[in-house]
Protein backbone atom coordinates (compact mmCIF):
# COMPACT_ATOMS: atom_id res chain seq x y z
CA UNK A 1 0.00 0.00 0.00
CA UNK A 2 1.28 3.43 -0.94
CA UNK A 3 0.95 6.19 1.57
CA UNK A 4 0.96 9.76 0.28
CA UNK A 5 2.15 12.59 2.44
CA UNK A 6 1.90 16.32 1.87
CA UNK A 7 3.84 19.16 3.39
CA UNK A 8 2.20 22.57 3.60
CA UNK A 9 4.43 25.65 3.43
CA UNK A 10 3.46 28.93 5.00
CA UNK A 11 2.46 31.51 2.36
CA UNK A 12 5.24 33.85 1.36
CA UNK A 13 3.14 36.80 2.40
CA UNK A 14 2.84 35.53 5.95
CA UNK A 15 5.04 37.76 8.09
CA UNK A 16 7.26 36.46 10.83
CA UNK A 17 6.93 37.90 14.33
CA UNK A 18 8.72 41.23 14.71
CA UNK A 19 8.63 42.16 11.02
CA UNK A 20 6.16 45.01 11.51
CA UNK A 21 8.24 46.43 14.33
CA UNK A 22 11.41 46.34 12.23
CA UNK A 23 9.67 48.01 9.27
CA UNK A 24 8.26 50.71 11.53
CA UNK A 25 11.70 51.38 12.96
CA UNK A 26 13.20 51.64 9.45
CA UNK A 27 10.50 54.09 8.35
CA UNK A 28 11.11 56.18 11.46
CA UNK A 29 14.85 56.29 10.75
CA UNK A 30 14.15 57.28 7.13
CA UNK A 31 11.82 60.10 8.18
CA UNK A 32 14.28 61.38 10.77
CA UNK A 33 17.06 61.34 8.18
CA UNK A 34 14.89 63.17 5.66
CA UNK A 35 13.90 65.81 8.22
CA UNK A 36 17.54 66.27 9.21
CA UNK A 37 18.55 66.71 5.55
CA UNK A 38 15.85 69.31 4.90
CA UNK A 39 16.74 71.12 8.12
CA UNK A 40 20.40 71.11 7.16
CA UNK A 41 19.62 72.59 3.74
CA UNK A 42 17.53 75.32 5.35
CA UNK A 43 20.33 76.17 7.76
CA UNK A 44 22.86 76.28 4.91
CA UNK A 45 20.53 78.50 2.89
CA UNK A 46 20.07 80.85 5.84
CA UNK A 47 23.82 81.10 6.46
CA UNK A 48 24.52 81.64 2.75
CA UNK A 49 21.82 84.32 2.64
CA UNK A 50 23.52 86.22 5.46
CA UNK A 51 26.55 86.65 3.21
CA UNK A 52 24.54 87.97 0.25
CA UNK A 53 23.77 91.64 -0.36
CA UNK A 54 20.10 92.20 0.60
CA UNK A 55 19.77 95.08 -1.86
CA UNK A 56 19.08 94.59 -5.54
CA UNK A 57 18.38 96.87 -8.48
CA UNK A 58 17.08 96.03 -11.95
CA UNK A 59 16.57 98.52 -14.76
CA UNK A 60 14.68 97.87 -17.99
CA UNK A 61 14.26 100.27 -20.90
CA UNK A 62 11.79 99.79 -23.74
CA UNK A 63 10.31 101.85 -26.57
CA UNK A 64 6.53 101.80 -27.05
CA UNK A 65 4.60 102.91 -30.12
CA UNK A 66 2.29 105.23 -28.21
CA UNK A 67 2.41 108.78 -26.93
CA UNK A 68 3.70 109.61 -23.48
CA UNK A 69 0.17 110.55 -22.39
CA UNK A 70 -1.23 107.22 -23.58
CA UNK A 71 1.42 105.18 -21.77
CA UNK A 72 1.06 107.27 -18.63
CA UNK A 73 -2.70 106.68 -18.68
CA UNK A 74 -2.14 102.92 -18.76
CA UNK A 75 0.19 103.15 -15.77
CA UNK A 76 -2.06 105.49 -13.81
CA UNK A 77 -5.31 103.53 -14.26
CA UNK A 78 -4.50 100.97 -11.59
CA UNK A 79 -8.10 99.76 -11.43
CA UNK A 80 -7.71 98.50 -15.02
CA UNK A 81 -4.48 96.55 -14.48
CA UNK A 82 -6.30 93.21 -14.41
CA UNK A 83 -7.63 93.89 -17.93
CA UNK A 84 -4.21 93.87 -19.56
CA UNK A 85 -1.55 92.64 -17.13
CA UNK A 86 -1.19 88.89 -17.57
CA UNK A 87 0.19 88.41 -14.04
CA UNK A 88 -2.69 90.22 -12.25
CA UNK A 89 -6.03 88.55 -11.54
CA UNK A 90 -7.73 91.48 -9.81
CA UNK A 91 -7.14 94.75 -7.96
CA UNK A 92 -8.64 95.83 -4.65
CA UNK A 93 -8.28 99.29 -3.14
CA UNK A 94 -7.49 99.59 0.56
CA UNK A 95 -10.29 101.94 1.70
CA UNK A 96 -9.59 105.67 1.68
CA UNK A 97 -6.03 105.22 2.82
CA UNK A 98 -3.45 107.88 1.95
CA UNK A 99 -1.26 107.54 0.06
CA UNK A 100 -3.44 105.55 -2.37
CA UNK A 101 -2.95 101.87 -1.56
CA UNK A 102 -4.09 98.80 -3.43
CA UNK A 103 -3.70 95.03 -3.41
CA UNK A 104 -2.61 93.15 -6.51
CA UNK A 105 -3.88 89.57 -6.57
CA UNK A 106 -1.35 87.93 -8.82
CA UNK A 107 -0.69 84.40 -10.05
CA UNK A 108 2.14 84.08 -7.53
CA UNK A 109 0.27 85.58 -4.57
CA UNK A 110 -0.87 88.96 -3.34
CA UNK A 111 1.10 92.17 -3.00
CA UNK A 112 0.04 95.42 -1.32
CA UNK A 113 1.42 98.56 -2.97
CA UNK A 114 1.13 102.30 -2.47
CA UNK A 115 1.78 105.33 -4.61
CA UNK A 116 4.95 107.17 -3.59
CA UNK A 117 5.09 109.97 -6.16
CA UNK A 118 3.30 110.97 -9.34
CA UNK A 119 4.26 113.68 -11.85
CA UNK A 120 2.03 113.54 -14.89
CA UNK A 121 3.06 112.42 -17.44
CA UNK A 122 6.76 111.95 -16.83
CA UNK A 123 7.00 109.57 -13.88
CA UNK A 124 5.29 107.47 -11.22
CA UNK A 125 6.68 105.45 -8.34
CA UNK A 126 5.09 102.56 -6.46
CA UNK A 127 6.39 100.71 -3.41
CA UNK A 128 5.54 97.69 -1.29
CA UNK A 129 3.29 98.73 1.59
CA UNK A 130 3.39 95.51 3.62
CA UNK A 131 6.05 95.82 6.29
CA UNK A 132 5.58 92.16 7.26
CA UNK A 133 6.74 90.89 3.87
CA UNK A 134 10.18 89.26 3.66
CA UNK A 135 11.09 91.95 1.13
CA UNK A 136 10.34 95.56 0.27
CA UNK A 137 10.92 97.54 -2.86
CA UNK A 138 10.03 100.41 -5.16
CA UNK A 139 9.24 100.57 -8.86
CA UNK A 140 9.93 103.86 -10.63
CA UNK A 141 8.43 104.50 -14.09
CA UNK A 142 10.06 107.24 -16.15
CA UNK A 143 8.52 108.31 -19.46
CA UNK A 144 10.04 110.48 -22.18
CA UNK A 145 9.27 111.09 -25.89
CA UNK A 146 10.89 108.65 -28.30
CA UNK A 147 12.46 109.26 -31.70
CA UNK A 148 9.17 108.83 -33.55
CA UNK A 149 6.20 111.23 -33.46
CA UNK A 150 4.14 108.88 -31.29
CA UNK A 151 6.73 106.90 -29.37
CA UNK A 152 7.58 106.70 -25.69
CA UNK A 153 10.78 105.58 -24.03
CA UNK A 154 9.85 103.89 -20.76
CA UNK A 155 12.47 103.16 -18.12
CA UNK A 156 11.42 100.99 -15.18
CA UNK A 157 13.78 100.79 -12.22
CA UNK A 158 13.16 98.20 -9.53
CA UNK A 159 14.95 98.68 -6.21
CA UNK A 160 14.39 95.96 -3.68
CA UNK A 161 15.61 94.73 -0.34
CA UNK A 162 15.16 91.11 0.69
CA UNK A 163 15.26 91.12 4.47
CA UNK A 164 14.94 87.39 5.11
CA UNK A 165 18.32 85.64 4.52
CA UNK A 166 16.65 82.37 3.48
CA UNK A 167 14.48 84.13 0.89
CA UNK A 168 17.59 86.02 -0.23
CA UNK A 169 19.42 82.76 -0.98
CA UNK A 170 16.38 81.23 -2.70
CA UNK A 171 15.89 84.34 -4.82
CA UNK A 172 19.53 84.39 -5.93
CA UNK A 173 19.50 80.71 -6.90
CA UNK A 174 16.12 80.22 -8.51
CA UNK A 175 14.54 83.56 -9.52
CA UNK A 176 15.53 85.66 -12.51
CA UNK A 177 16.58 89.21 -11.64
CA UNK A 178 13.86 90.68 -13.85
CA UNK A 179 11.17 88.15 -12.89
CA UNK A 180 8.74 90.89 -11.84
CA UNK A 181 9.52 93.40 -14.60
CA UNK A 182 9.49 91.06 -17.59
CA UNK A 183 5.74 90.27 -17.39
CA UNK A 184 5.07 93.96 -16.74
CA UNK A 185 6.83 95.09 -19.91
CA UNK A 186 5.45 92.24 -22.04
CA UNK A 187 1.87 92.97 -20.97
CA UNK A 188 2.29 96.72 -21.47
CA UNK A 189 3.72 96.21 -24.96
CA UNK A 190 0.85 93.86 -25.86
CA UNK A 191 -1.75 96.37 -24.61
CA UNK A 192 -0.15 99.20 -26.62
CA UNK A 193 -0.19 97.01 -29.73
CA UNK A 194 -3.86 96.10 -29.18
CA UNK A 195 -4.81 99.75 -28.72
CA UNK A 196 -2.98 100.74 -31.89
CA UNK A 197 -4.64 97.98 -33.92
CA UNK A 198 -8.06 98.97 -32.58
CA UNK A 199 -7.45 102.60 -33.51
CA UNK A 200 -6.33 101.59 -37.01
CA UNK A 201 -9.37 99.40 -37.54
CA UNK A 202 -11.78 102.13 -36.49
CA UNK A 203 -10.11 104.82 -38.59
Answer yes or no: is 18 within a domain.
no
Query: Is 178 domain-assigned?
Result: yes
For position 36, what pLDDT does the model report?
60
Residue 174 lies in a domain: yes
When pLDDT is cut at 50, 70 and 90, the band that residue 108 belongs to is confident
More confident position, 67 or 23: 67
Instruction: Answer yes or no: is 11 within a domain.
Output: no
The closest alpha carbon to 135, from 95, 155, 108, 107, belongs to 108
- Residues 119-164: tens digit of each pLDDT: 999 999 999 886 646 678 899 999 999 998 889 999 999 998 887 7
CATH number at residue 120: 3.30.530.20
Per-residue pLDDT, 144: 97
Taking only Cα atoms into account, the Rg of the chain, rounded to an integer number of angstroms, comes to 29
9 lies in some domain:
no
Residue 164 lies in a domain: yes
Q: Comparing C-alpha atoms, which of 176, 173, 179, 188 is closest to residue 63?
A: 188
The pLDDT mean for the chain works out to: 80
Judge contact between 159 and 137, C-beta under 8 A.
yes
Q: Is 143 domain-assigned? A: yes
pTM: 0.73
pLDDT the model gives residue 178:
81
Per DSSP (E only), the strands in 94-186 are 101-106, 109-119, 123-128, 135-145, 152-162
7 assigned to some structural domain: no
- Domain range for 121 is 27-197
Q: Which residues contact 66 (CB under 8 A, 6 or more apart)?
A: 150, 151, 152, 192, 195, 196
Query: Which comes out higher in pLDDT, residue 197 or 203?
Result: 197
The per-residue pLDDT for range 159-177, each reduced to its tens digit, is: 988 877 777 767 677 767 7
Domains identified in the chain, total number: 1
Amino acid sequence: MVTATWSVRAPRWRRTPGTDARDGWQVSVLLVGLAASVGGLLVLGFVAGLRLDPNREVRIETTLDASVEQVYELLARIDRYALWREDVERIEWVGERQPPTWVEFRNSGRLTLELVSDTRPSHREHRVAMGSDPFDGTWRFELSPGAGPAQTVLVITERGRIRNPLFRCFWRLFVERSAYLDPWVASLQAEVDRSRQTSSASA
